[in-house]
């Protein structure tokens, strides 16, 4: 077996030749640059033509280097998995312990790759980190990429601005801060003052991204297919396809501006939501100019408390806003990481949520939206039969039994109350059940999910992370989803039947479900409030008891005070 593995991963005979080609390409790139410089000193016209050729050669070489790094990293990970896990029993504790070690090593290699290649690799790493269905070692390691973007030099950014806006910056702005206030993997944001003294935030796309995207996506697809060829049970084509769809939408700033305005319209009656206004005169495919809004990052608990804002109330408001997007509007912000949501210390509730970065949105299919509302109704009531039926509609079949675990932290046979987690017995049973699952099951499950579902899983993963940092109990998220799933169904009662009797019967059944679920939720919420009140009374009682004991020990303390 060992001999076979060594021969399988043995470098081909022409590997040295390929390495020589790569070194030669480096020399050619350098020589070409020097040759152009020499020739341009005697013939300026030659320089204009050749500079374009040199840029294309350098860009192509840059793409080769980036792709080579990616191929080397993934190959290293494949070899690590292949060798480290060989000969181990799949269901043994030793296998799972070793698997966790390999996951962590592989995740660290991917992190280094993303940090070195930057651009779309950082974006891909962030995408993976937000998928809570991947091993924890990957999501926790790659999560650090959220704050790793390095801004471009202003000279390159200025060229994009002038080319897109058609005028020099001094003709358009009273002031323009060359130092970015935020930097991401595909763009950075600058603060400026218009001639009419309006403060604006200007999002500028980095140059050459479309060409770079084609090379990087092609490399990722190749690596995904190569991994699936070596390990048939490890299939990630679904992830590459979903990433390509989301990143393609994000590169169009005109579409982002339209998404922003549509979201503002959807929440026009909601006083807690703020969406920066778009300045269309200074907006193009690569430049987005919008109203400048200040605030604290949504997960900055220290700053929120200093401003007198309750983090749990922020978590509740955040979950309700995104629950309304999913269940009622069917138009979902697909990238709610902390940098894209600010908390401003103003508004009726003492704060408002500022929603930024509207590049990645998903318009849910109406049939899917209604089914997803029903699924949450079934999850709350633990209606296993209904969950199974909806699982068939979503195309996941037998894997629908894991929906309660994924979304509510309960097994499908759980007797625990909503938001109370699993009992020790349930945890033990689930652990035994999960041990029987293989990577093939995970791949099959993720491949079968519709694109709408993948977006929701990613969004939900990011929101769970934020609410956890805010210290909010899981019940805040569950109640928000439950409440808005009811609103989502009641807002549009669309019976599938044609006859008047069946139509009336369908409406009656929906109304009964709505009333039953609403009563259930209100009882759960009342219980939660009673528990909070009970804790408050207990806390006050302890304080009074402590004061009484202190007085008995030192009766003169009150007189002195």
Domain positions in the chain are: 53-151+210-248
Tally the C-alpha atoms within 13 A of residue 473's C-alpha that lie toward its C-beta. 12
pLDDT tens string 179-200: 999 888 889 999 999 999 999 9
Q: Cβ(396)–Cβ(448) under 8 Å?
A: yes
* pLDDT score recorded for residue 552: 59
Helices (H), 118-153: 120-130, 136-142
Contact of 465 with 339, CB cutoff 8 Å: no
Question: Distance (Å, rounded) from C-alpha 470 to C-alpha 301?
Answer: 6
Six-digit token string for 299: 């997960």
Phi then psi for 191, rounded to 5 degrees?
Answer: -100, 135
b/e 392-403 (16+ beta carbons within 10 angstroms → b): eebebeebbbbb
Q: How many Cα atoms are found within 13 Å in the side-chain-facing hemisphere of 175?
A: 7
- The pLDDT score that the predictor gives to residue 7 is 36
Active site residue: 216, 299, 300, 335, which one?
335
Name, of 52-61, 318-327, 359-368, 407-416, the range with top average pLDDT. 318-327
- Kindly report, residue by residue over 47-99, the tens digit of the pLDDT: 444 445 545 555 556 667 878 888 888 888 888 888 888 888 777 778 888 88
What pLDDT, on the 0 to 100 scale, is given for residue 455?
86
Residues 6+ apart with CB under 8 A from 466: 298, 299, 315, 318, 336, 338, 341
pLDDT at residue 555 above 50? yes
Does 243 have pLDDT greater than 80? no
Residue that is written with structure tokens 């050729």 in the block: 53
Q: Is the confidence at residue 342, as pLDDT, over 90? A: yes
d(CA 315, CA 151): 30
Would you say the pTM of this structure is higher than 0.85? no
Packing angle, helices 451-469 and 474-490, rounded to 10: 140
Name the more confident of 37 and 7.
37
Contact 197, 48 (CB under 8 A): no
Report how far residue 246's alpha carbon sits from residue 359's, in angstroms, rounded to the nearest whole number: 8
Q: Is the pLDDT of residue 207 over 90?
A: no
According to DSSP, the β-strands at 287-291 and 296-297 are unpaired
What pLDDT band is residue 44 in, cutting at 50, 70 and 90? Answer: low
Q: Name the least confident of 210-219, 283-292, 458-467.
A: 210-219
Which value, in Å, is the radius of gyration of the alpha carbons in the chain? 28
Question: Which residue bears the tokens 């068939």?
Answer: 392
Among 211, 157, 160, which residue's Cα sits nearest to residue 183?
Answer: 157
CA 478, distance to chain mean position in Å, is 19
Closest CA to 209 of 184, 236, 176, 182: 184
Note the pLDDT tens digit of each residue in 123-145: 788 877 777 667 788 888 888 88
Q: What percent of the chain has pLDDT over 70?
A: 70
Q: State yes or no: pLDDT of 288 exceeds 90.
A: yes
- Please, how many CA atoms are within 13 Å of residue 89, restricted to the half-sphere of its CB? 6
Burial code (b: 16+ CB inside 10 Å, e: under 16) for 529-555 equals eeeeeeeeeeeeeeeeeeeeeeeeeee
Nearest CA to 273 among 358, 210, 347? Answer: 347
pLDDT at position 37 is 47
Q: Residue 501's pLDDT band (boundaries 50, 70, 90)?
A: low
Dihedral of alpha carbons 515, 331, 122, 180, sign: negative
pLDDT of 11 over the 60 cut: no
413 part of the active site: no
Distance CA 106, CA 231 (A): 15
Instruction: Give me the chain's average pLDDT, please.
Output: 78
* CB of 261 closer than 8 Å to CB of 288: no
The pLDDT value recorded for residue 213 is 78
pLDDT in tens, 424-478: 777 777 777 766 666 666 667 777 778 888 889 889 988 998 999 999 988 889 8
């Amino acid at each position: 077996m060992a001999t076979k593995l060594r021969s399988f991963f043995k470098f081909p005979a022409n590997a040295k030749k390929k390495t020589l080609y790569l070194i030669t390409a480096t020399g050619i790139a350098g020589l070409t640059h020097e040759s152009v410089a020499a020739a341009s000193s005697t013939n300026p016209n030659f320089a204009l033509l050749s500079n374009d050729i040199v840029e294309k050669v350098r860009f192509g070489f840059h793409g080769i280097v980036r792709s080579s790094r990616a191929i080397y990293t993934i190959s290293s990970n494949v070899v690590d998995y292949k060798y480290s896990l060989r000969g181990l029993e799949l269901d043994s504790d030793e296998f799972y312990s070793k698997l966790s070690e390999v996951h962590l090593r592989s995740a660290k290699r991917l992190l280094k790759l993303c940090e070195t290649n930057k651009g779309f690799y950082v974006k891909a790493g962030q995408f993976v980190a937000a998928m809570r269905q991947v091993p924890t070692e990957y999501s926790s390691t790659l999560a650090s990429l959220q704050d790793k973007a390095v801004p471009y030099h202003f000279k390159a950014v200025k060229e994009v601005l002038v080319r897109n806006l058609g005028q020099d910056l001094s003709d358009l702005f009273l002031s323009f801060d060359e130092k970015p206030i935020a930097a991401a993997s595909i763009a950075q944001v600058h603060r400026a003052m218009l001639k009419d003294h309006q403060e604006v935030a200007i999002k500028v796309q980095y140059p050459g991204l479309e060409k770079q995207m084609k090379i990087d996506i092609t490399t990722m697809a190749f690596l995904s297919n190569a991994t699936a060829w070596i390990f048939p049970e490890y299939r990630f084509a679904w992830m590459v396809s979903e990433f390509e769809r989301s990143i393609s939408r994000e590169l169009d700033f005109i579409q982002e501006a339209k998404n922003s305005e549509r979201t503002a319209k959807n929440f026009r009656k909601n006083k807690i939501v703020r969406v920066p206004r778009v300045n269309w005169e200074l907006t193009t495919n690569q430049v987005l100019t919008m109203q400048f809004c200040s605030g604290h990052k949504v997960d900055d608990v220290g700053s929120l408390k200093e401003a007198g804002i309750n983090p749990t109330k922020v978590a509740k408001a955040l979950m309700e806003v995104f629950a309304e997007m999913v269940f009622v509007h069917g138009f979902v912000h697909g990238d709610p990481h902390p940098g894209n949501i600010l908390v401003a210390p103003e508004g009726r509730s003492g704060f408002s949520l500022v929603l930024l970065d509207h590049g990645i949105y998903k318009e849910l299919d109406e049939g899917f939206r209604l089914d997803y509302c029903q699924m949450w109704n079934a999850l709350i009531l633990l209606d296993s039969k209904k969950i199974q039926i909806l699982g068939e509609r979503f195309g996941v079949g037998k894997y629908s039994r894991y929906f309660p675990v994924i979304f509510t932290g309960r097994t499908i046979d759980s007797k625990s109350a909503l938001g109370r987690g699993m009992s020790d017995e349930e945890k033990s049973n689930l652990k035994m059940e999960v041990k029987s699952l293989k990577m093939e099951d995970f791949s099959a499950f993720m491949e079968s999910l519709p694109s709408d579902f993948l977006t929701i899983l990613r969004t939900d993963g990011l929101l769970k992370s934020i609410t956890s940092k805010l210290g909010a109990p899981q019940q805040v998220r569950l109640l928000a989803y439950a409440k808005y799933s009811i609103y989502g169904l009641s807002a549009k009662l669309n019976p599938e039947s044609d006859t008047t009797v069946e139509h009336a019967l369908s409406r009656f059944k929906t109304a009964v479900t709505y009333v039953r679920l609403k009563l259930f939720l209100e009882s759960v919420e009342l219980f939660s409030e009673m528990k909070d009140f009970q804790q408050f009374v207990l806390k006050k009682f302890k304080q009074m008891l402590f004061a009484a004991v202190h007085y008995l020990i030192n009766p003169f303390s009150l007189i002195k005070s």
